[in-house]
Every structure is written in structure tokens, then in C-alpha cells.
Amino acid sequence: MALNITNITIKNYKSCINTSLQLSGFTPLVGYNNAGKSNCLSALQWLLRKSSLSEKDFNEPANPIEVEAEIKGVSQALLDSMPEKQKKSVEKYVENDVLSIKRVQLVPAAKAAEIKLSVKDPATGQWVVNPTGIDNAINALLPEPIRIGAMENAAEDASKSKNTTTIGKLLAQFLEPVRQAHEQDLNTHLSEVSRRISSDGDLRFGELSNIDTTVNAKVAELFPGMTVKLHFETPTIDDLIKAGTLKVFEGQGDGRDFASYGHGAQRSIQMALVQYLAEIKRNVPELTTLLLIDEPELYLHPFAIEQVREALSSLSNSGYQVLITTHSAQMVTPELAETTLLMRKNDQQGTYTRLRLSDAIQQVVPNSVHQMEQLFSLSHSTQVLFAENVVLTEGKTELRLLPFLYKQACSKTMGQEKHALVAQSGVNDTKKSLEILAAMDLPAKAICDLDYGLTGAIRDGFVGATSPEVVAIKSRLAQIAPANNIALNGVGLPKKSDHCTAARAFEILANDAVAKPQILTLHNALKAQGIWLWTLGSIEAHIGIQSKDESAWALFKSNVNQNGLAASCPDHQSILDLVEWLRN
């Protein structure tokens, strides 16, 4: 079990009068401006690393600020890995791998020594105030949190590598291999520098000695017997890292200061560092580091937001507990919707959270199998404007399941590969939609049911009404119609009847051994023109679901998650082929 901070209670901190949060490995905090989302992050940061809070941090100055939390996953193995003194400080307060802590500041501007950290004694249920070594023990369990705020200090923060800055903390996470690989060599060179510029250097530059001699002649006139030497402190490898800056280069020109760029560039570089951190930390077990980010999507275009979200998701599985505030629907996947906290604020309660979606479902329909729905949706036009490829579809099942199937097939999201999935108002819009997107110089492909190949595709000129495959398919349909109670219209295509729907008729046709080769020929002819035709009639037939509703989609996704795509999907190869076609 990963080490995570779970249940949080914040009292009297800014807008948090009495705020409770249930945290997971990756928790988005969603709410309108000024709801107190950032206050929650700051309170959690203060819990782990105390500082003296001023009067403006107190909701009511006459009352204390208290932040309480449960730390779960404090296993015996983890305790055994701690230094003995720190282990002794906390071990007796851990029960069932849970440690409860609370930090309290009684009055504004209190001295650091007056800010107490308590632990709950599971034997008595009472709080033990400031037991010996407790701060150091918590530091060992939960390393220094990394806080990435909004953009108010981005230029200064992102252009310097200091222990107190966001970028400094990020760089410290992945510069350790550099230190280990080169510290010895660098120290050798620094030692040589020290021998030449320090006051006691054995190879001191002659010019420095000459300056010393001249200055000491003056000193001796004022203070006989006293001498001075110029001295230059040689930096350590830590000093060099702390003094590092980020230079931004474009083309062949010289690097420019980070502050000369806009917030979009600044935020992009911050989030690029987070993505790199996710790459190097993937599947690396270590103590949990708290990563607190205000609005990671700020100034980023939609697909960059998705890349950042996936990086943060990866970090949440690799030694980090991630909390973000966000206004972007793209930062909340259907899976994250379960544990997203909806933040609100009013005069009576201050900042509070609404019931989580996962908890609400369990209250209303206990033990029901549900696939979480998206909390938000972006307009199609927004996606199209930032896309490099557009996928048009008419069916609700494609809209619900294609992003899921895409990731199952290639381990990438459609957004990561810059595909926008756009719902058409009807299949009759396929040609017009493709033409509009072509005029915009946006590559596009369409996904259609089998009936389109014998109706709209002919009307739109993608295939001829007298082409051999169309003639053969319609001829075979006429032959099998009587035996299957299929009613045909005036042009020889299925129509709804009391005995067989048109959709069912096309599924029967698709499964006919004589018709199959001709349907495949039609499929290939349209695919060459950017249109994918479901050869079994519709996507539902390929993935083996009987209805087009939330329950069927949820059950299918649950089966795939548990058993894999190949075991859950009767024609999973067609899904793999579709994804490969979309990617090429």
C-alpha cells in the first residue's frame, strides 16, 4: 500500500472554517474562483512544513488554526527503513498502518517553537503534543512538498534553481544522478581553483599576493602586526546547482532570460519539467513526495494539458501524491471523476466539498457496477482548433468508448496523439464535414455504420451505385430477406418492420458468408477515401454489446479492465485495425 495522506480537516485557515477533504493518490480540486481550493493546498503544505502564519491567514484571529490528517500506508517495513531515533518517535502511534497528526498555531505571528505538531495515541484516542523528534520523523516519512503555484512569481521561480523555489525542488528530484556521476571529478577541479584563489592556497596567483603585499603595507601603518589576505570562497557542487538558471533558446540566437517570455512559455517549461520528472520516476519506488499544483493547465493549449495530466497521473503511481486545483475539464478523466473534489464556499460554512461521485453512487446504488461519466466536456470547436487530426463519428457508442478503446490498443490517449473526436449531427453530414475540415487544412477521417456504405456513400459520390460490390451486396440482401423477415424499401434496402429493425437487418447481412467478401471490398474502397465502415454493421457488433446505453458501456469497460481487450471483445482485431488506421 502506498504512503498517502488521506482524510484532512482544516480549521480556521483563511476560508477553511471547518473543511474536510478525502484525498487519493491523484486528487483534482474543482470549483469556481475564490472557492478556497488553493487555501486547501497551502494548509496541507503548512501541516508538513511549519511556518509562522500571520493574522491574514486566520479566518477568526481569536481562534487557533488546526490542520489534522491521517497518513495511511505507514507499514512496519517503512518504519524499519527509518533511522532508529525517528522510528522510535512515531512507531508507537501507528495502528493498522495509520498515523494521525495535527498541527496547531494558537495565535497569529507565533514563534516557531510555539507551533505544535501532535500525534494521536491509538491506545487512548488522545492527542500527544509535540513528542520528542516528531517533526524530524514526519520529515523522514514525507519529504519536502513541492508546491507549484499560479503564475504570480513564475519568472523568478522558474529561472532559478534554489532550494526554496519550485524549480529548485523539481531540479533536486532529478539532478541527484548528475551529482553522483560527477561530484568527485568536479570536486577535483574545484580544489584546483581553491588552491589558486583561497587565502591559504599553495598555488595562489601571484597577482593576488602582490595585492596582499601592497594592502598590508597600508594596514601596518594603522594596525602594526596585523595583515590581510584576499580570499575567494570556492563553491561546492551544491552552490553551483543553486546558482543555475534556465535560459530559453529559439533558433540559432543567444539564450534569453526566462522573464522575457510570456506566461504561456513560462508555464510550459514548468510543466515540461514535471513531465520529465514523471518519465524518470516511473515505477521507481520511494517515499511519497507531496506535489501540490495550482491550475497546471494555465496558459497551455488543450493537448498540452492532456500531456501534463498524463504525466501527473504517472507520478501519482511513482512515489508522489498529487493534488491539483483546476478549472479544466481536460484535467479530469472519467476515472479521476470518482475521486475529484467539488469545492464550494458560502458565508456560513466557508470552503467545503460536495460528496464525491464515487461516494454518491455507493449511497444511491450500493455495489453497482458503474463506469464514471465525464464531469465536463469541451466544445467540439475548441478541440478541432488545436487538433492535428479529426475523427468524425455519428454514434453515441463511439463517443463513449472509442477514447477508451484507443488507449487500450496503443497505450496512448487520443488527445496525446492530437486526435479530436467530434460528433456529427448526422451521418448525412459526413461529406460536408470532411470538406470543411479539408478547407481548414485539417486532416480528418470518419467512422460510419454499414448502412452508410449503401446509402450516404453513394449519394455523396464516394462509391458508385453500380459498382460491382454494391450491386452484389444488394442482390444478396434481396435473396436472404424473406427467410429473415427483412422488409425492403423501394431501392432494395432494409426498412423497419414489426419483425426486424433496419439495424438488425444490416447485422444479418454483415454475417452472411456470401456478402462478407463484398462488404470487405466496400470497406476498403471507402477506407482509401478516409471513411471507416463497420463491416459487422455497427461498433456494437464488433465489441459484443447488445444495447447503446450507459449500463452496457459501463459493463463493457469493466470487463476490458478486468480481462483485457482480446478476451472481452469478439472482434478485437477490428478495433486494433481501426486504431492503427487512425494513427497513420
Cα distance between the two ends of the chain: 40
Q: 285 falls in which pLDDT band (50, 70, 90)?
A: low
389-393/444-448 β-pairing: parallel
Is it the case that residue 233 has pLDDT exceeding 80?
yes
Task: Check whether 548 has a pLDDT greater than 70.
Answer: yes
Q: How many angstroms separate the CA atoms of 443 and 408, rounded?
A: 23
At 160, the pLDDT band (50, 70, 90 cuts) reads very low
How far is Cα of residue 485 from the mean position of the Cα atoms in its chain? Answer: 52
Q: What proportion of the chain, given as a percentage, has pLDDT over 70? A: 86
Alpha carbon 284 to chain centroid, angstroms: 18
Residues 60-108 have pLDDT tens digits of: 999 999 999 999 999 999 899 888 988 998 999 999 999 999 999 999 9
Is a pLDDT exceeding 50 seen at residue 165?
A: yes
Q: What share of the chain is helix, strand, coil (3-state, %, to 5)?
A: 45, 20, 35
- Listed range (270-279, 366-375, 468-477) with the worst mean pLDDT: 366-375
Compute how many other C-beta atoms are within 10 angstroms of the C-beta atom of residue 51: 11
Question: For 112-130, what is the mean pLDDT?
Answer: 94
> What integer best gives the mean pLDDT of the chain?
85
91 Rama class: left (phi>0) / alpha (psi -120 to 50) / beta: alpha
Interhelix angle for 263-281 vs 166-174, to 10°? Answer: 30
In sequence order, what are the residues at sequence separation of 6 or more whose Cβ sits closer than 8 angstroms to the Cβ of residue 187? Answer: 237
Lowest mean pLDDT among 59-68, 144-153, 480-489, 572-581: 144-153
Of 174-188, 316-330, 423-437, the poorest mean pLDDT is in 423-437
Contact 504, 450 (CB under 8 A): no
Strand partners, 342: 30
Is pLDDT of 231 > 80? yes
Q: For residue 138, which amino acid is it? A: I
Between CA 256 and CA 48, with CA 296 as vertex, the angle to 5 degrees is 105
Domain boundaries in the chain? 4-154+282-364, 380-583
SS3 301: coil
pLDDT at 377: 30
The DSSP 8-state label assigned to residue 549 in this structure reads S
Residue environment code for 186-225, b if the CB has 16+ CB neighbours within 10 A, otherwise e: beeebeeebeebbeebeebeeebeeebeeeeeeeeeeeee
Least confident of 26-30, 95-99, 371-375: 371-375
> How far apart (Å, rounded) are the C-alpha atoms in residues 535 and 161?
57
Cα-Cα-Cα-Cα dihedral sign, residues 474, 477, 482, 486? negative
Centre a 10 Å sphere on the Cβ of residue 184 and count the other Cβ atoms it contains: 10
Q: How far is CA 541 from CA 303, 536, 538, in A?
A: 31, 6, 6
Residue 211: which of 223, 203, 202, 199 has the closest Cα? 199
Residue 363 pLDDT exceeds 70 = no
Lowest mean pLDDT among 27-41, 328-342, 489-503, 548-562: 328-342
Write down the residue that cell numbers 460490390 correspond to.
469
Examine the pLDDT at 274 and tell me if it is beyond 80.
no
Average pLDDT over residues 160-175: 60
Element (H, E) at 347: none
pLDDT at 370 over 50: no
CA distance 88 to 82: 9
Beta strands in 168-243 (DSSP E): none
Topology given in CATH for the domain delimited by 4-154+282-364:
Rossmann fold (3.40.50)
Split at pLDDT 50, 70, 90, the class of 405 is: very high
Closest among 99, 98, 77, 80 to 88, alpha carbons compared? 80
Between the CA of residue 42 and those of 10, 36, 98, 149, 340, what are the distances in Å?
Answer: 10, 10, 23, 10, 18
Q: How far apart are CA 98 and CA 79, in angstroms?
A: 12
Q: Give the pLDDT confidence score for residue 564 in this predicted structure.
A: 94
> Nearest-5° angle of CA 341, CA 21, CA 120?
160
pLDDT at 125 over 80: yes
What is residue 496's predicted lDDT score, i.e. its pLDDT?
85
159: pLDDT strictly greater than 60: no
Query: What digits encode the pLDDT tens for the residues 417-469?
Result: 989 888 776 667 788 778 777 766 678 899 999 999 999 999 999 999 999 99
The Cα-based distances of 519 to 176, 265, 269, 469 in angstroms read: 59, 50, 50, 7
CA 106, 109, 112, 113 torsion-angle sign: negative
The whole-angstrom separation of Cα 67 and Cα 11 is: 6
Does 375 have pLDDT greater than 80?
Answer: no
What was the pLDDT predicted at 20? 96
- 10 Å CB burial of residue 174 (0-12, 13-18, 19+) is middle
